[in-house]
Every structure is written in structure tokens, then in C-alpha cells.
Structure 1
Amino acid sequence: MLAIRLKRVGNKHRPFYRIVVSENDKVPRSRHVEELGFYHPVAPGKPVKINMERAQYWIAKGAKPSDTVLGLLRKEQKKAEA
């Protein structure tokens, strides 16, 4: 089963996350199927960039987003609607 989740790639005390599609049983830092965007929580404004078209494609194919990614997707969708 596929999962859409965060992959941490930042330094100590400076987290930076990539939003990736990967196998659910693999560790998050392992190989992924596709990278959908990024999330930088410590930067001013907490920048997030997600390719919504590809995220919707993978969700339609059965990929389950994690709780955090689901929240980010909802925020980005509201931002796009406004």
C-alpha cells in the first residue's frame, strides 16, 4: 500500500521535510516513488509547496496521506480557493 508522508531531510534543530509517495512498510528515509513538494516549518511564514494535481492522482490510486500531510493538503486547497 502506498502512503503520502513527510520525509525529513533537514539538519538538527532545523527541520525541512519533503512530501513523498512511498511504500507504507518502508522507513520514511528510504527510497520513494515520487516527490510531491516540501514543507519548511521553521522558516518565516512556514512555506509549503505541494503539487496538488499529483497528490490527487495518488489519492485516487489508493495512497493514504498521513495526518500531517492531510492537514497540509487541506490548507493548500483552501489557499488555492481563496
Structure 2
Amino acid sequence: MAVRIRLMRMGRRNRPFYRVVAAEASAPRDGKFLEILGYYDPVKEPFEFKVDPEKVKKWLDRGAEPTETVRALLKRTGILKEIQQKKAA
């Protein structure tokens, strides 16, 4: 069972809104997921990205791989660096 931390599209046409979820890699993009970790709203200026760092850390410790987009968002907001520092300490 390969688990990915990825975006799940929501919202309406031309107004996307995404949930950050932990889901099996074989599940469809907007299908079944294991847990909601946060959300991402790219329409707001500046974009809004909120996740629970404890939940993200829990899934990363379990071996979940973030997608490229989620990894970039985590790095951009400093959450990934924060989690890596806690691991090293």
C-alpha cells in the first residue's frame, strides 16, 4: 500500500480549491482518501495554504510520499524544513 500526500480538487469551475489529503496512490484524484491534512486555496492573493504539521509528520513517518506540488508548497511555507529539523533533534 503506497500512500501519497496529495491535492484533492474541490470548488466549482474556474474557482478551484484543494484539500491536502493522505490517500493510496491507486485511488482516483477526487476519490477515497485516508485523512484530511489541510487545504490550499490558490485563488486568494496571496495563496492560502494551511496544514496540520503534526498530521503531515505522522504520515511522513509512516512512509507517505508527498507529490511534487505538495512538496513545493510545504517547502515554500517552511513546514517541511520545520519537520526535518524536529526529526534531526
Greater than 2 Å deviation, 4+ residue runs: none
Q: Which has the higher strand share?
A: 2
TM-score, length basis structure 1: 0.90
Structure 1 segments unaligned to the other structure (5+ residues): none
How far did residue 76 of structure 1 move?
2.2
Corresponding residue of 2:24 = 23
TM-score, length basis structure 2: 0.83
Aligned residues: 80
For 1:28 and 1:62, locate their aligned partners in 2 and report how far apart those are by CA, in whole Å: 19
Instruction: Quote the RMSD (CA, aligned, Å).
Output: 1.6
Structure 2 segments unaligned to the other structure (5+ residues): 83-89
Corresponding residue of 1:51 = 52
Deviations 1:21-58 (A, max 9, x none): 00000101111100000000011210110111110110
For 1:20 and 1:51, locate their aligned partners in 2 and report how far apart those are by CA, in whole Å: 11
